Amino acid sequence: MSAVWRAARAAIRRRRLQTVVVGLVVLFSTATVVVALGLLDASARPFDRAFAQQRGAHVVATYDAQDPATSAAGVEAVAGPFPELVLDVPADGGPGWATGALTVVGRADPGGAVDRVDVWAGRWATGANEIVITSTPPADRADAQYFSADVIGRTVRAPGRPALTIVGIAYTLGDTADAWVSPATMRALGPTGSQVLYRFRHAADKAEVDAAIATLPRDGLVATQSYLTRKDAVAAGPGTMLPFLVVFGVLGLVVAVLIVANVVSGAVISGFRHIGVLKAIGFTPRQVVFVYLFMVSVPAVAGALAGTALGTVAARPLLANAFLGLGFGARVDTGLWVPLTGVAGVPLLVALTALVPALRAHRLSAAEAISAGSAPRAGRGLRVQRALSGTRLPRAVSLGLGLPFARPGRTGLTLAALLLGVVTVTFAGGLTTSVLRYGAAVDRADAVQAQVRPNNPDFGGVSSAKTDPQVESLLRGLPGTVYVTADLSLELAVAGHSTPIGVDFLRGDATTIGFREELTEGRWMAAPDEVVASSKGLHDLGLRVGDRIRLTYDGRDVPVTIVGRTLDGAVGGGAMFADWSLFTTLAPQYRLVNHEVMYYVRITPGTSVESYLASVRAADPGLTAWSAVTGLGNSYTVSVVTVSVVFSLMIGTVAALAVFNTVLLNVRERRRDLGMLKSIGMTPRQVVAMMVTSMAALGLAGAVVGIPLGMAAHRLILPMVGRVAKVDLPATLFDVWNPGALASMALAGVGIAVLGALLPSRAAARLPIAEVLHNE
């Protein structure tokens, strides 16, 4: 074995460029494998993984007693009882999402055996009249800092209660509370019940959870909440990332395996002449096989170790960003098998790939191996070359177009890598465009720039004395106002459905707030007995456009027809839009107070939002005005775009390395041919053109096949995401392709091929004629 090791070391030193190429290809391929497997691993039951990490509560039990019994059969861990209170916070009593009916829990710390709360900004509430509110952390760190700076220090105010200062923002995947205070503050607020959190040893499905709930103490039990409800809700939010992650993970894995196979097998085949020499000087066939296995395994192991480290580092922020809404936090832990696959699996793949051509060399005699190690046999591609020579193409171009046919196996692997690279870029490009269009549609930043609401007089201080019509008239008279829409949000019962739904009654310039442009089916309402529903609302109610339903309020009901479906939910969080006249018909005795109405304002282009808000406050100090454009961005959009860009770059880089290796091997095999061509007048520029043309043709072929496949993947995956999110996507999100976009995709395939071919082609152009022919 010492002779084998010496021969392998000598081959590694002599073939430095090949060694470096094998190491680099394995490095980048391993990094891609680790990231791809990380995505696939994280995509498998992501909610359950994150839920276990946070020690989430399988069941949240609410009791009307302050000290209920907590024993139950099959319990793994219990937390509580925690005193609980529901605070009714008006719309102007705190930050937008910290209003309405807030479930507030008195809890001394965020840790414990069940439901470990992640305080991602500020601190836990420990002092008097301090509160921690819940919110999912934004995707971007800068956005998180902006968000927390805007929220921490503000107050939450409910009628008849002391003002509570926000000192922290937290998140819990189990959604066990809307806010937390210290036990002392809760005692001062006056709790009305208790919360007990349970983790059970068996709670994998609804039957097991129902069985566990049946064992809870019944004395004073008011309500129970299963974690499965939260799991379903998450599946329609961050869970919509999963189809994308699976596609990118599979593509990355396949590309990495193909390229490793291409590079390693090519390295062994290009060394057949050396194999023949080793046999001629006395090496046995088995020793020759071991020489070549060692020769490729040394750089492969080094590349795999570095690639595993690189892939692990790259995967963490990528996965944390993708699964931010699941509460993974800043670190995503994948299974130990993922880095082990990179460290051990990729070198094993290299060894197996090298073994196939090495065993072929094992069967060849010394003379046959030396012959096989020279340029490919004359018959290969000869017909193609003759046919191309009869065309009017420049000779360098015709020779380049015929080169891929000389090594069909190597060409096939290179073409497959380029094809998958084009598929990835095409799919990622279409996906990014669709998600950006979706974000622009639901943000409606061009339709509404300011929101206004009168202050609630129950809080004391300045409150507007104007009635609802007077407030609308005031806003319409301010400089910079273009459109004003009044919105009143109420919960109504639907005949035949047990769950009430939110309806937003709109008055004024209702067609200008951006939802009519989001219609995915039907039309906007045109009569008092017509409503438009959100896509998710229709799915939740099991209704369709054209259905007739009866809306009920305070004993009065009105039949309405659903005439349209929108992409997003209603402005007040409801499932339906209706005209204001329906409200007056349905609730004629309703005593409307001004602070119940929200006003959505579009201002003239060029008008500063800040100056307009200041003018609203100056006109009536009893009005609260704020910008409708948060500036925080859409975390889902950021996640999808980030994953798309990163994987496109990774797979594109690996595909370019495959082309680089193919051209390098072609140059090495054809040194004699290149020397003879240069000796009869071929210039260095023509040599570069010939080699680059050979790969550009493969890039173009990959684009021709890969672009339709990428478009098909986009058409297949996007509806799956819509079904998971319970959203019916409009045609505009699918029709993202135009001639310019398709041309750029084709150029991407050719560009990857040319980029990989350029460097070794330039090296081939500089080969000295005399040295080449002398060596041959």
Distances (CA, A) of 340 to 33, 189, 332, 550, 767: 11, 54, 17, 60, 42
Q: How many CB atoms lie within 10 A of CB 619?
A: 16
pLDDT at 623: 84
- pLDDT, one tens digit per residue, over 451-504 is 888 876 655 456 777 888 898 899 999 999 999 999 888 878 777 666 677 888
Which of 153, 180, 202 finishes a domain? Answer: 202
Q: Which domain holds residue 93?
A: 59-202
User: What's the residue count for the chain?
Assistant: 776
How far apart are alpha carbons 693 and 697 in whole angstroms?
Answer: 6
Helix (H) or strand (E) holding 465: none
How far apart are alpha carbons 361 and 761 in whole angstroms?
Answer: 28
Describe the crossing of helices 242-269 and 16-43 by its angle, rounded to 10 degrees: 160
Nearest to 291 by CA among 375, 235, 355, 196: 355
Q: Are 503 and 576 in contact (CB under 8 A)?
A: yes
Which of 627, 653, 672 finishes a domain? Answer: 627
Distances (CA, A) of 374 to 355, 665, 776: 20, 11, 10
pLDDT at 209: 82
How far apart are alpha carbons 673 and 666 in whole angstroms?
Answer: 11
Domain identity same for 678 and 566: no
pLDDT at 270: 59
pLDDT at 674: 66
Question: Checking DSSP bridges between strand 75-89 and strand 193-200, what pairing results, if any?
Answer: antiparallel
pLDDT at 100: 67
pLDDT at 515: 73
Domain identity same for 51 and 65: no
pLDDT at 633: 44
pLDDT at 631: 43
Phi/psi of residue 94, each to 5°? 175, -175
pLDDT at 669: 62
Helix (H) or strand (E) holding 98: none
221 assigned to some structural domain: no
255 assigned to some structural domain: yes
pLDDT at 591: 78
Domain identity same for 456 and 590: yes
234 assigned to some structural domain: no
How far apart are alpha carbons 656 and 449 in whole angstroms?
Answer: 46
pLDDT at 329: 46
How far apart are alpha carbons 203 and 76 in whole angstroms?
Answer: 11
Radius of gyration from C-alpha coordinates of the chain: 34
- pLDDT, one tens digit per residue, over 566-608 is 876 555 455 788 889 888 888 887 777 767 788 989 999 888 8
How far apart are alpha carbons 118 and 135 in whole angstroms?
Answer: 10
Domain identity same for 642 and 776: yes
Domain identity same for 436 and 482: no
Q: Which residues contact 531 (CB under 8 A, 6 or more apart)?
A: 503, 525, 551, 560, 561, 562, 563, 576, 577, 578, 582
235 assigned to some structural domain: no
Domain identity same for 32 and 75: no
Domain identity same for 150 and 189: yes
36 assigned to some structural domain: yes
Q: In total, how many domains does the chain have?
A: 4
Domain identity same for 502 and 577: yes
Domain identity same for 370 and 272: yes
- Blockwise average pLDDT, block size 10, the chain, 776 residues: 70 71 78 76 68 81 78 81 81 66 84 82 86 73 63 80 85 82 86 86 81 81 78 58 66 71 64 64 71 76 86 73 53 70 83 73 59 51 63 72 71 76 80 76 73 71 78 90 88 72 86 75 86 80 83 82 78 73 84 80 87 88 76 57 75 73 67 68 77 79 84 80 68 78 76 73 66 51
How far apart are alpha carbons 586 and 560 in whole angstroms?
Answer: 11
Helix (H) or strand (E) holding 197: strand 193-200
Burial 134-151 (b: 16+ CB within 10 A, else e): bbbbbbbeebbeebbeeb
Instruction: Tell me what percent of the residues of the chain surpass a pLDDT of 90.
Output: 1
Which of 173, 202, 231 finishes a domain? Answer: 202
How far apart are alpha carbons 614 and 480 in whole angstroms?
Answer: 12
How far apart are alpha carbons 66 and 85 in whole angstroms?
Answer: 11
Helix (H, G, I), strand (E, B) or coil at 104: strand
Domain identity same for 603 and 734: no
Domain identity same for 426 and 506: no
Question: Both tokens of residue 723?
Answer: 């079904």
Helix (H, G, I), strand (E, B) or coil at 644: helix
* pTM (two decimals): 0.61
222 assigned to some structural domain: no
Domain identity same for 46 and 67: no
Question: Both tokens of residue 214?
Answer: 């049946």
227 assigned to some structural domain: no
185 assigned to some structural domain: yes
Is the peptide bond between 454 and the residue preceding it cis, with omega within 30 degrees of 0?
no
Q: Are 706 and 422 in contact (CB under 8 A)?
A: yes
